[in-house]
């Protein structure tokens, strides 16, 4: 009897073992037959920091895209009763007990006994509750869908919630930062796309043609690479006519940033093309009578697309930092457009850190975005490297 159970047990384990190995086998098969992009995704997924950074970026992009819904107020709406006001933190409890709904204390205006200036003082006896998906200011979602719904508002329509405080004109820093996220990220995206197209054309021509064409293009690239880039941007930005509208300035800025961002990427594409040009498989394609465009698009580009993507991701921070720096010194975007740089223009002195430190909150977004792009770029680079440890 004991023998029989023993054999049974061993049989069970052996079949289980076989099942396991079949599963393993399936996994292995899947691995061997996976495409390049699937492999890259698998490797990227294991890079925890890069995954977190990618999530941060996606979150920021969503904030920017749905700015009208997320931001309770418009970027230029003023709350004259709350100038240079401190951030208001939603509470669940105060000295009068707790509530399930988050609330903030109401604000009453008093006159400073010494300076006689009007100041806002929180009134701990007055509670104003938050409501979600509330109706408020009229906006246009994504710029064209009329809507009044905002993610959160105060249920007392006369009071306003300033999650991250207000600036000297009483504009809500939270709302402005959300709108600025859209502007800054979109400038980055468009700028990178413009440089990418230019780099692809210029680098592609130089790398495929070689010879004197390559020589001339190399010289021009060299020139743009040696001129300090921010002073160059500044020169072009300064040349923008003062009477241009904010939209015109916005497009001019993206053009400027994009137009001088190509040299690094173009060099990369050129050198990759030059080195691949004499590879056996390209020579074979040429001997087989393939046309240049087909050789470039079918045989040459796919071998380093992943590297181009990595370079694109890595060039985002430069775009964002350049825009921020230019707007910060007053040569980039102009109010009433809001971008991270424009917002930080209000925070140029030590006095601001001392008195209204919340005006620096947009800086956290800049740092976070640049950090996230760098980490995602590094993660992608590791994932795209076919020699990095697979599986």
Report how far residue 362's alpha carbon sits from residue 174's, in angstroms, rounded to the nearest whole number: 9
Question: Could you tell me if 382 and 63 are in contact, meaning their C-beta atoms sit under 8 angstroms apart?
Answer: no
State yes or no: residue 230 binds another protein (CB under 8 A): yes
Q: Which helix H or strand E contains 69, and what residues bound it?
A: helix 67-70
Residue placing its CB nearer to another protein in the complex, 307 or 360? 360
Residues 304-323 that bind another protein (CB under 8 A): 317, 321
CA distances from 154 to 2, 79, 102, 138 (A): 74, 14, 10, 16
Q: What is the side-by-side strand order in the sheet with 145-154?
A: 91-94, 97-111, 118-141, 145-154
Residue placing its CB nearer to another protein in the complex, 290 or 312? 312
Residue placing its CB nearer to another protein in the complex, 57 or 128? 57
Among 48, 100, 219, 287, contact with another protein (rule: CB under 8 A): 219
Residues 156-195 that bind another protein (CB under 8 A): none
Question: Could you tell me if 136 and 153 are in contact, meaning their C-beta atoms sit under 8 angstroms apart?
Answer: yes
Report how far residue 341's alpha carbon sits from residue 322's, in angstroms, rounded to the nearest whole number: 9
Residue placing its CB nearer to another protein in the complex, 91 or 232? 232
Among 9, 11, 119, 220, contact with another protein (rule: CB under 8 A): 220
Residue 358 is classified by DSSP as G
Residue placing its CB nearer to another protein in the complex, 158 or 219? 219
Question: Could you tell me if 391 and 42 are in contact, meaning their C-beta atoms sit under 8 angstroms apart?
Answer: yes
The CB-of-107 to another protein minimum distance in angstroms stands at 28
The CB-of-221 to another protein minimum distance in angstroms stands at 11
The CB-of-355 to another protein minimum distance in angstroms stands at 11
* CA dihedral sign, ordered 290, 296, 297, 302: positive
State yes or no: residue 234 binds another protein (CB under 8 A): yes
Residues 358-377 that bind another protein (CB under 8 A): 360, 363, 366-368, 370-371, 374-375
CA distances from 335 to 234, 250, 384 (A): 17, 11, 41
Report how far residue 379's alpha carbon sits from residue 391's, in angstroms, rounded to the nearest whole number: 15
State yes or no: residue 231 binds another protein (CB under 8 A): yes
Q: Which two tokens stand for residue 251?
A: 């497009």
Residue placing its CB nearer to another protein in the complex, 34 or 236? 236
The CB-of-200 to another protein minimum distance in angstroms stands at 23
Our measurement of the distance from residue 180's CA atom to the centroid of its chain's CA atoms, rounded to an integer in Å, reads 12
Residue placing its CB nearer to another protein in the complex, 280 or 354? 354
Residue placing its CB nearer to another protein in the complex, 161 or 366? 366
Helix (H, G, I), strand (E, B) or coil at 194: helix
Q: Which helix H or strand E contains 184, and what residues bound it?
A: helix 173-209
- Per-residue contact track with another protein, 238 to 267, x per CB under 8 A? xx-x--------------------------
Residue placing its CB nearer to another protein in the complex, 8 or 49? 49
The CB-of-296 to another protein minimum distance in angstroms stands at 26
Which of these segments, 12-20, 184-192, 232-240, 280-288, binds another protein (CB under 8 A)? 232-240
The CB-of-154 to another protein minimum distance in angstroms stands at 32
Instruction: Identify any residues that bridge with 107 across adjacent strands, giving them in sequence order.
Output: 122
3-state secondary structure 87-149: CCCCEEEECCEEEEEEEEEEEEEEECCCCCCEEEEEEEEEEEEEEEEEEEEEEEECCCEEEEE
The CB-of-369 to another protein minimum distance in angstroms stands at 8
State yes or no: residue 29 binds another protein (CB under 8 A): no
Q: Which helix H or strand E contains 207, and what residues bound it?
A: helix 173-209
State yes or no: residue 213 binds another protein (CB under 8 A): no
Q: How many residues does the chain have?
A: 391
Number of residues located near another protein, criterion CB under 8 A: 44
State yes or no: residue 328 binds another protein (CB under 8 A): yes
The CB-of-55 to another protein minimum distance in angstroms stands at 17
Among 125, 222, 248, 279, contact with another protein (rule: CB under 8 A): 222
Residues binding another protein (CB under 8 A):
219-220, 222-232, 234-239, 241, 317, 321, 324-325, 328-331, 344, 347-350, 353-354, 360, 363, 366-368, 370-371, 374-375
């Amino acid at each position: 009897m004991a023998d029989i159970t023993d054999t049974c047990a061993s049989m069970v384990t052996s079949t289980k073992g076989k099942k396991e190995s079949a599963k393993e086998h399936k996994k292995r098969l899947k691995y061997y037959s996976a495409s390049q992009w699937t492999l890259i995704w698998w490797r990227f997924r294991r890079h925890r920091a890069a995954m977190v950074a990618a999530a941060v970026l996606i979150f920021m992009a969503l904030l920017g895209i749905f700015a009208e819904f997320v931001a309770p107020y418009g970027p230029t709406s003023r709350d004259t009763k709350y100038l240079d006001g401190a951030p208001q933190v939603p509470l669940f409890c105060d000295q009068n007990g707790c509530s399930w709904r988050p609330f903030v204390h109401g604000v009453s205006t008093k006159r400073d006994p010494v300076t006689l200036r009007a100041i806002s003082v929180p009134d701990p006896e007055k509670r104003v509750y938050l409501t979600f998906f509330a109706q408020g200011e009229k906006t246009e979602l994504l710029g064209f869908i009329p809507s009044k719904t905002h993610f959160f508002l105060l249920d007392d329509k006369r009071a306003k919630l300033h999650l991250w405080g207000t600036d000297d004109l009483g504009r809500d820093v939270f709302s402005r930062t959300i709108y600025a996220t859209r502007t800054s990220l979109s400038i980055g995206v468009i700028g990178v796309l413009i440089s990418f197209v230019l780099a692809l054309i210029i680098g592609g021509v130089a790398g495929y043609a070689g010879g004197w064409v390559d020589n001339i293009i190399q010289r021009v690239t060299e020139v743009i690479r040696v001129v300090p880039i921010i002073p160059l941007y500044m020169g072009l930005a300064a040349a923008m006519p003062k009477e241009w509208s904010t939209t015109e300035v916005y497009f001019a800025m993206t053009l400027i940033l994009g137009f001088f961002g190509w040299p690094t990427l173009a060099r990369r594409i050129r050198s990759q093309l030059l080195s691949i040009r004499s590879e056996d498989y390209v020579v074979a394609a040429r001997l087989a009578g393939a046309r240049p465009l087909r050789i470039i698009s079918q045989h040459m580009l796919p071998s380093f697309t992943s590297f181009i993507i990595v370079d694109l991701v890595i060039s985002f921070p430069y775009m964002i930092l350049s825009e921020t720096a230019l707007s910060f010194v007053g040569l980039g975007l102009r109010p009433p457009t809001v971008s991270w740089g424009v917002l930080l223009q209000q925070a140029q002195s030590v006095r601001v850190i001392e008195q209204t430190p919340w005006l620096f909150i947009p800086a956290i977004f800049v740092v976070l975005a640049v950090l996230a792009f760098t980490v995602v770029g590094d993660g992608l680079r590791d994932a795209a490297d076919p020699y990095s440890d697979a599986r």
